[in-house]
Structure formats: structure tokens, C-alpha cells
Amino acid sequence: MELNAPKLQAVIESQEFLGIASRLYEAMALAKLIRQKVDAYEIPLFQSLGFKEDKHGDNPCTLITDPKLAYLSDDDELFREFVVLSHKKHIENGFDYKPITDDEATAYILDDIAPSDPSFGKNPALVAEYAQTQIEWLLLEYMEKAIGMPRWSLLKDRQKMLDLYLKMASHHLEAKGDRVVVAA
């Protein structure tokens, strides 16, 4: 497909492109807000439990202070305790998760038997970031079809392309309350 300025302009002004871009702006804002909220209680919780790097790691027995580095620890029971405590904190902080019983928590910590609640163990920030990523891929797929640029060629510069597409869309979108809509 040959791409010229009028064709690109038509793609940028299409309702489908602008709809995906507006959804992505909203998802990005939501993911950022949820990440900040979750980090505010989850990082101190994680640090209070005293995770240490496993004895076979690069820095054996070094204290791990960032939950994103929990994989460096081989203390599965402590990690499961962190998941249970995090679940309780998610509820305390207004996320719509079903509480678990003490028996369910103990069974999970000691025997790795997860409660039946499907939200259990799901970090709200990661859920929001995953939703954002899905919409990013939707935008990339749309542009692949619309302008003929293979998605695989974008992988190296994925973020640059997303930023470019959103910048192109921003001239046609506006904020209305907590929504991003096509400008009138």
C-alpha cells in the first residue's frame, strides 16, 4: 500500500483510529493512577516483610525492597503471605475484591491452595497496565492494517510509534470530565 499525506490524514481522522486512541489515553491515565495508589501501600508492605535475595543469587541474603524484584527471592511461603496481605490492602483501599477467610489465607500460605475468588492474587495496577497494553496492541494492529506497516517491524520502536500515533490523534481529541472524546 502506498502511503501519502491525504491517505494518512484520512486514517488519523477516522472514527475507529480516534476511538482507539481515546481509549488508550483513558487506559494510560487509569493505569498510572492505580499504580500510584497501589504502590503507596504495597511497597511499604513488601518492605516490612523482609524479603531477601536467595542464596544462589548475585547478592545472597541482600534485602529486596521493590516488589517488582520479588522473583529474586526463593521464599515462596513469604511471597504467598505478601499476596494475602496485599489482597486485604486492595480491599481496604477501595478495590472491588471479595474478602477471603483466615482459613483460605492459611491454606494458601502453607499449601498453595488459592481461594475461589477470581480476583485473588491479581494486583489492580498490573490488571490496569495489562488492559493498557491490550489497547496499545489494538492501536498498532489498526495502524498496521490502515497504513500497511507490519507490526513486527514496529517492535523495536513500539513506544515511539505509540507516542507518534497518540500525538497525531491528540489534535482531534479533547478531555470531557474523565473521558477523552473526539473534538467537535
- Burial class of residue 47, CB neighbours in 10 A (0-12, 13-18, 19+): middle
Say what the pLDDT of residue 131 is.
96
Contact in structure between 64 and 51 (CB atoms under 8 Å) = yes
DSSP string spanning 25-81? HHHHHHHHHHHHHHHHHHHHHHHHHT-B--TTSSSTTPBP--GGGGGG---HHHHHH
Q: At what angle do helices 15-49 and 5-12 cross, to 10 degrees?
A: 60
pTM: 0.82
pLDDT bracket for residue 40 (50, 70, 90): very high
Give residue-wise pLDDT tens across range 86-116: 999 999 999 998 998 889 988 888 888 888 8
Q: How far apart are CA 133 and CA 27, in angstroms?
A: 9
The vertex-62 CA angle with 61 and 65, nearest 5°, equals 130
Kindly state the greatest CA–CA separation across the chain.
Answer: 64
The set of residues, in sequence order, having a beta carbon less than 8 Å from that of 17 and lying 6+ positions away, is: 11, 139, 142, 143, 146, 165, 169
In the chain, the percentage of residues whose pLDDT exceeds 90 is 46
pLDDT bracket for residue 135 (50, 70, 90): very high
| Domain limits, the chain | 5-32+126-182, 36-122
Q: Is the pLDDT of residue 3 over 70?
A: no
Give residue-wise pLDDT tens across range 50-87: 999 887 767 677 899 999 999 899 888 999 999 999 99
